[in-house]
Structure 1
């Protein structure tokens, strides 16, 4: 596969990733309007309540729900940035990573959060994507992704404060989502054939030598 063809594939995937995140943000904002109109009844009824078996489906619905306009506004920017960076290498892989993060964040919160509280919000996904972007480059051995992970880690270092216990904040969803993102980086890493790197240098060397000899012959040397 040529570098040009690889670049075309990456651009196509990045374009799909952009529209996937635009669509996802559009969905949670539509849900927010309905939720706000109903005095946030959706968050109360479909959020996560720890150790309540009937509320286990909240693992799926809670990331779409928020408690206020400030809540959804605070999540939207990081969700789009980290979500796009998590998705631009492939939307199909991104969907698998998203499912793993939602499961880890939701179950972690369900097992460890205060049973008197109801958890809702996309911040578990935000921290999950953050963790995934940080480690993906190391697992995939892609230099550009390593650089992106380092830059994001430095620019958003303050996000790590959300992993610490704090009153009134669902830090459990943050922490378990972050762990889920790191695990996702390993489970969904690129798996290249072990023999491929060994064959490529020989072929490249042979082609280069043949091309050089032909140029010398053409020059009459």
Structure 2
């Protein structure tokens, strides 16, 4: 592959990544606009309702629901930034990490969460954070360790979110999301893959 082909491949990959992230963020915003303008916030009842069978649907739906535009704005930039960093090595990692995090975060909240509906993309965002911070530990390559350090420097303060410090914030979603990201980091690491061969 010559330099021009390589440049074209990188540009195509970046375009694909931007499309994936842009589409998901657009869905977040469209859902919130429709929820506020049409349903007066009633869509939030499709979030995770701990220990109620109907609340299980929220495992898939909760990341697309937000309590307000301020909530959505607070989640948009970290979702874009950390989501793109998850894609850096391989775009498909984003889908695998998202799925693992969604499942572990959602089930954790459903089993152990406080009463009331849990909504928002922050559980998935904390999954990306956990993945990026722990990938360096599991892979132990210079690039992944460096990326873990950079992410820790810029986003390390988010880790306080896994503690019950702010009323009304689903710290359980953050905690189990982070755990899910750590599980994904291990499962996608070269060491885990070599054990399955």
TM category, shorter? 0.7 to 0.9
Instruction: Map residues 55-74 of structure 1 onto 2, 5 A cutoff.
Output: 55-74=55-74
Name the structure 2 match of 1:75.
75
Instruction: Map residues 110-129 of structure 1 onto 2, 5 A cutoff.
Output: 110-115=110-115, 117-129=116-128
Name the structure 2 match of 1:43.
44
Are 1:142 and 2:141 an aligned pair?
yes
Which range is displaced more, 142-151 or 184-193? Answer: 184-193
Task: State how far apart, in whole Å, the 1-side matches of 2:172 and 2:50 are.
Answer: 11
How far apart are 1:124 and its partner, in Å?
0.2
Name the structure 2 match of 1:132.
131
How far apart are 1:16 and its partner, in Å?
2.2
For the structure 1 residues 186 and 4, does the alpha-carbon distance in structure 2 shift closer, same or farther, using more than 3 Å as the test? farther
How far apart are 1:184 and its partner, in Å?
0.2
Count of matched residue positions in the alignment of Structure 1 and Structure 2: 192
Which range is displaced more, 66-75 or 17-26? Answer: 17-26
Normalising by structure 1, we get a TM-score of: 0.79
Normalising by structure 2, we get a TM-score of: 0.88
Are 1:103 and 2:81 an aligned pair?
no
Indicate if the aligned counterparts of 1:10 and 1:89 stay in contact, CA closer than 8 A: no
Mark the runs of 5 or more structure 1 residues left unpaired by the alignment: 195-221
Name the structure 2 match of 1:161.
160
How far apart are 1:145 and its partner, in Å?
2.4
For the structure 1 residues 193 and 104, does the alpha-carbon distance in structure 2 shift closer, same or farther, using more than 3 Å as the test? closer
Name the structure 1 match of 2:21.
21
How far apart are 1:23 and its partner, in Å?
1.2
Query: Which is higher, the Rg of structure 1 or of structure 2?
Result: 1
Task: State how far apart, in whole Å, the 2-side matches of 1:12 and 1:99 are.
Answer: 24
How far apart are 1:5 and its partner, in Å?
7.8
For the structure 1 residues 53 and 3, does the alpha-carbon distance in structure 2 shift closer, same or farther, using more than 3 Å as the test? farther
Which range is displaced more, 10-19 or 105-114? Answer: 10-19
How far apart are 1:135 and its partner, in Å?
1.8
How far apart are 1:120 and its partner, in Å?
0.3
Other structure's SS at 1:48 match: coil
Mark the runs of 5 or more structure 2 residues left unpaired by the alignment: none
